[in-house]
Chain A
Amino acid sequence: MSKRTPMIEMRHVSKHFGSVIALSDISMAVCSGEVMCLLGDNGAGKSTLIKTLSGVHRPTDGQMLLNGEEVSFKSPAYALDAGIATVFQDLAMIPLMSITRNFFMGREPTTGWGLFKRIDWKRADRIAMQEMSKIGIDVRDPSQPVGTLSGGERQCVAIARAVYFGAKVLILDEPTSALGVKQASVVLRYIAKARADGLAVIFITHNVHHAYPVADAFTLLKRGGSLGSFRKEDISREEVLNMMAGGAELESLDAELAEFQHTDQEDQRSARPEAAPQNQASSV
């Protein structure tokens, strides 16, 4: 694809848990300023792959390269220090804590020294306000609890935090799965913005409609293996959808549904006398 050194690259990475092969021979590369969509059905190995990238698991086999250099992370903290920020599905946000407290959780800016070292609240509040207004979220008061924000806004705070603290690679685990259409678009717009800022984004989802507009490339996973990486210009939305669900499986599903419909009609015809009183009872 491109001649640039990818920001993050996996070469033939495998991960086994005992006798279970969770990932086998996965290769993919993401350059800075690119969004790679990782698509796959449940159990395809998406979570294992993110956890390997973010340092939770260590690969059984294969190499991981960050900006051309081979890396190996002992824990998520090392990955974070190296610039790989992961926004997990459970958000890493604490609803009862204020926006500022959440934003700087674990990395509070301090002033003063020794015993009198304290959080620089003025600076922290100002930065939190700035970063939030950059993504177009009006924060009335940075000391308001995160729980008062909507799901999409919370997701954006989590991403804004990762970006602010110098992430080079941003891994987003299903950021839009629990959101409504409008909220998802807030998050998608922000992902596009992060890409424009030069981050390498890995966007995990099983919603092709969310993935397609922002993605530059797709990697499809199925049962622990990779079906390959595709540039957006080489593949259509329908093709992605087909590969992801498995075209053959969808066809057999269609057939099965037709079968259901058929038997339903037969059931209705034969069970009408009993069904009528039942319906009455339930409507009372």
Chain B
Amino acid sequence: MQSNTSSKPAPHSSEKPDERIQRVPFWKKALSRPELGALAGTVLVLAFFIVAASGTGMFTPAGIVNFLEVAAQLGIIATAAALLMIGGEFDLSIGSMIGLAGILIAIPAVEYGWPLWAAILLAFSCAGLVGWINGNLVNKTGLPSFIVTLGFLFILRGLAIGISRLLTGRTQIGGIHEHMQGDWFAALFSGEVATGLFSWMAAQGWIATNFAGNPLVTGIPVSIVWWLGLTAVATWVLLCTPYGNWIFASGGDANAARNSGVPVRRVKISLFMFTAFSATIFACLQVMDTGSADTIRGLLKELEAIIAVVIGGALLTGGYGSAIGAALGALIFGLVQMGIFYTGVNTDWFQVFLGVMLLVAVLFNNFMRKKAMEAK
């Protein structure tokens, strides 16, 4: 098909140059990317801590893994929140979904002897259902998703505490590590990858080792792999697939999208399901890592995810944003949280910084969007 059309001479601007049309300079094109602000922010924060936290061990392999893990956990839910926000909606129930998913994994496995993979599948199905209900409520009622998911923030948290108390009498369930042996599905959410590479690097003397000659950092935590993987997939979906175009269209103007034949309802429902799934992935990683579930897990995570997404250049009104931006937003978050710890600044100041960062990001985004519209 392509060879047919390319045989026709396309009236390209290069063939008949128009004196009114200038070439777009590279930097101007880069300015119109949503993640530019987040990239600049990451570089700034990184530079700051490289100076401020020099000699504290923040940038040793162990320190790097530390802040990357913080970034990864947030990044997983931020990716999904970014897609949803680009699609024009919010999900405030992510944090509560994390708590509920943890309970749904722990109780069947610990109390009722389910194999762990079955418990994880149960959590994912429930998450899918919650996302589906969220999406349908928003579609059918036309209420702002802020209200609908705010309702679910409380409903899901309450369910997590209620179910847990009813069935076990406690709000914390431990002893999951014993059930993890030989469960291939649980293994997807636990441990480290590239352990061979790290012991090889240790043998070469490239990274620090303990007294026994084993590397201090034995591998890349699996959460980081999930984070990078999800970000890559989300970016590919947004930039390269029809579904990605539908997400932008649904968020930009749902009515116009519908008139052009975009299945807006289905897009939104699937995005709500994806945020609930991402919360469950978060919960799996946390439960497998700590070996326990707690009903208060994930508190305020929905707001942190939104902060990361907004720092990443997404517009709260939808239709504009990027998954890479959200990943960078999460990275800034991890850098600052751990950086404050390493530099010995009182950690009370972390939240102040976070709030300021959010405001600066929003102002910057608004400014950039105006610039993008003036690009003509």
Binding site for B on A (CB under 8 A): 76-77, 80, 86, 88, 90-97, 101, 104-108, 110, 117-121, 123, 126, 129-130, 133-134, 138-141, 144-145, 147-149
Contacts and interface: CB of A to CB of B under 8 A. Distances in A.
Q: Interface on chain A toward B: helix, strand, loop, or mixed SS?
A: loop
Contact of A97 (B12, B248, B259, B374): B248
B320 A96 contact: yes
B13 A148 contact: no
Given A101-B245, A130-B11, A76 B259 contact: yes
Contacts of B241: 117-119
A88 B2 CA distance: 32
Given A92-B259, A117-B241, A140-B21, A106 B10 contact: no
A97 B261 contact: no
Contacts of A145: 32, 372-373, 375
Given A140-B24, A141-B24, A106 B257 contact: yes
Given A80-B261, A129-B12, 8 more contacts: A92-B259, A92-B260, A101-B245, A108-B242, A119-B245, A123-B5, A138-B20, A145-B32
Interface string B3-16: 00100001111000
A88 B374 CA distance: 25
A139 B376 CA distance: 10
Given A92-B259, A106-B257, A129 B10 contact: yes
B246 interface: yes
B245 A105 contact: yes
A125 to B, nearest CB: 10
A121 to B, nearest CB: 8
Nearest to B258: A76
Given A141-B24, A145-B375, A95 B252 contact: yes
Nearest to B254: A94
A118 B249 CA distance: 17
A148 B248 contact: no
A227 B262 CA distance: 38
User: Which among A97, A105, A123, A134 has the highest number of chain B CB atoms within 10 Å?
Assistant: A105
A148 B261 contact: no
B249 A97 contact: yes
Contact of A149 (B244, B246, B261, B376): B376
Contacts of B265: none
Contacts of B252: 94-97
Contacts of B12: 129
24 contacts: A90-B253, A90-B255, A94-B253, A94-B256, A94-B257, A94-B319, A96-B252, A96-B315, A97-B252, A105-B245, A105-B260, A108-B245, A118-B236, A118-B240, A119-B241, A120-B2, A121-B240, A129-B10, A129-B11, A130-B10, A138-B18, A145-B372, A148-B375, A149-B376
A129 B10 CA distance: 9
Nearest to B18: A138
Contacts of A88: 259
B179 interface: no
